[in-house]
Amino acid sequence: MLIATAAEAKTLVVYYSYTNKCHEIVTTLTSQIEADVVRIEPAEKGLKYEANNYALGTQLLNAIKANPNDASSYPAIDPVTVNLTDYDTYIIVTPLWWSQMAAIMQTYLFHHGAEMAGKNVGLIVSSHSSGISGVVADAQRLLPNSIWMGDALWINASNHGNRSSLIENWLTTQNFPTSNDMTQKFYITIGGVTKTATLVSNSSTEALVAQLQKGNITYEAHDYSNFEKVGALGYTFPENNTQITTKPGDLILYQGSNLCIYYDTNSWNFTRIGQLDNMTQADIKTWVKAGDGNVSVMLSVSGPTGINQVKSDEIKSKAYTLSGTLAQDGQKGIIIQNGKLIIR
């Protein structure tokens, strides 16, 4: 059930609530930030998961635990018709069941986790008294390629009444992105020489950046047909294939797992990742040692200075809401200014 819609919104709160505690948390959360909200519902209504010493709830969790990669292990949920590609950030709000993430929420993330690859995610967990480490582990399993903005927030029976201040403080610890960052860059090092590249915007680059934020990728690249250096990355990323005629400097993802650095032209159906910055064809050929055998290539999101992204002075001087709109003077709520989250 979609509670709120706004095409311009960039943050989506996804939640499941059995005892209404998570619903109360979401109501408080959305009074402090601008976000759309979607509530996940089980397909079979009226079930008592806690009956007979939590027999049904435990049965559902055990089925998932036994075969976590099998879709049939997860309980059915109502269809959710929200387009996740419209959002940059997701906040998951879920109850804890027997030290694990509620099975209903696990179903949603199992089916839609891939759509959150490369996107920013926060997690709020509600429990009676149990610690949330098991829920965090479930979230990391179901969203392996997402970017975690910070630690999860634990709201339990003893502090639920203080949830407003808990959420307010937690929001300041989360690394919310701004929609006003300059184009995403990443770095490629060959033979000790580092060059920058500008990434295009698609799910392939989002997943690649998410992986690079966990650590650099180093791979061996070889010449192919006198127009590219290509090598296996050791990871498989989403594909966004189109018919492309390359030009020198194009960065191409081939079959989801191979990165090609082009120093000449070629036409094929594959995924564009980005373009090397300010390099001539001769520069590229020299740098990749075109025709001279294998080279070691290192990809990273931090260059030698440790700067990931560059922002203009104009952007730094302004304040924005979490949905990316320019904040008005005196506007209350969560504001992003100078790359920091501010609560007014």
**Number of domains observed in the structure of the chain:** 3
Q: How large is the average pLDDT for residues 126-140?
A: 96
Report DSSP letters for 305-323, one per residue: T-------HHHHTSEEETT
pTM: 0.56
**DSSP code at position 280:** -
Q: Which of 173, 202, 234 is the last residue of a domain?
A: 173
103: left (phi over 0), alpha (psi -120 to 50) or beta: alpha
> Does 69 score more than 60 pLDDT?
yes
CATH, residue 168: 3.40.50.360
Place of tokens 């999860």: 152
Output the pLDDT for position 185.
80
* Residues near 285 by beta carbon (within 8 Å), at least 6 away in sequence: 263
Tens digit of each residue's pLDDT (9 = 90 or more) over 204-253: 888 898 899 889 999 999 999 999 999 999 999 999 888 888 889 999 99
Average pLDDT across the chain, whole number: 85
321 in the same domain as 227: no
> Does 182 score more than 50 pLDDT?
no
18 in the same domain as 100: yes
Output the pLDDT for position 117.
83
Q: pLDDT band for position 91 (50/70/90)?
A: very high
Greater pLDDT, 332 or 263: 263
Q: pLDDT band for position 129 (50/70/90)?
A: very high
Check: CB of residue 82 under 8 Å from CB of residue 12. Answer: yes
Residue 319's domain spans which residues?
313-343
